[in-house]
Amino acid sequence: MSNQRVIDQLQLDLESLPDWEDRYAYIISLADRLAPFPEKYRTDTFLVKGCQSRVWLHAEINSGLVTMDADSEALIVKGLVGMLMMIFNNRTPEEILQTTDGFIEVLGLSKHLSQNRSSGLASMIKQIKLFAIAFMAQHA
């Protein structure tokens, strides 16, 4: 699925849930979609800064795609991380950089993903994009 199709699908899913409880249950369910995080990366080096609950992120490039592992110790945050992985994982650097932050608004997640929020997931998005830029530079 293309990046945009994932976002559209997430938007449809979330909008079909009128209750805030159901939306959170849905977000939490996305945590399960995350691949188990490799324990060797569970170090300070891979911590995302500025998040109240710890969030880890590891990225590498494989055959032109940015491949990431991510985890959080908090459940809702982990669900949100899962969502970000659906959108950003295994994409080309170009695809990642083309994805503007508009999706945060569209999915009604500014409360979680915008700056100044304790989740710190705004810095995670920023970091993913920095990875993409770095990988592009590396292969240019």
Partner 1 sequence: MSDTQTIAPPFDIEVLRNEFPNISDTAASGRPIVYLDTAATAHKPLQVINRISEFYSKQNSNVHRGVHTLSAQATAYYEESRKEVQSFLHAESADEIVFTKGTTESVNLVAYTWGERNVGAGDEILLTEMEHHANIVPWQMLCERKSATIKIIPVLDNGELDMDAIDSLISEKTKIVAVTHVSNTLGTINDIATICDKARRHGIVSFVDGAQAVMHLEVDVQKIGCDFYAFSAHKLYGPTGVGILYGRKALLESMPPFMGGGAMIDTVTFQKTTYANAPGRFEAGTPNIAGIIGMAEAIRWFRKIDVNQLAAYEANCTSILLDTLRSIDNITVLGAAEHRIGIATFVADGAHAHDIGILLDEQGIAVRTGHHCTMPLLQRFGVQQTVRASLGAYSNQADVEAFGNALQKSLRMLQ
Binding region for partner 1 (CB under 8 A) out of 8-16, 17-25, 92-100, 131-139: 17-25
Which listed range, 5-13, 93-101, 113-121, 132-140, lies at the site for partner 1 (CB under 8 A)?
113-121
CB of 116 to partner 1, least distance (A): 4
Query: 72-75: long-range contacts (C-beta < 8 A, 24 or more apart)?
Result: 75/28, 75/31
Beta carbon of residue 117, minimum distance to partner 1 (angstroms, whole number): 5
CB-CB contact of 108 with 27 (8 Å)? no
Give the 3-state DSSP-derived string for 55-115, with helices as H, strands as E and coil as C: EEEEEEEECCEEEEEEEECCHHHHHHHHHHHHHHCCECHHHHHHCCCHHHHHCCCHHHHCC
Based on the shown chain and the rule CB under 8 A, indicate whether residue 20 belongs to the binding site for partner 1: yes
If binding is defined by CB under 8 A, does position 115 make contact with partner 1?
A: yes
Name the β-bridge partners of 70. Answer: 57
Nearer Cβ to partner 1 (21/140): 21
**Is residue 119 a contact point for partner 1 (CB under 8 A)?**
yes
8-state DSSP, 50: T
Q: Indicate whether 48 belongs to the interface with partner 1 (CB under 8 A).
A: no
Q: Taking Cα atoms as reference points, which of 19, 121, 122, 129 lies closest to residue 79? A: 121
Question: Hey, which residues between 49 and 108 contact partner 1 (CB under 8 A)?
Answer: 50, 52-53, 73-77
Residues forming contacts to partner 1 in the complex (CB under 8 A) are: 20-21, 24-25, 28, 50, 52-53, 73-77, 111-112, 115-120
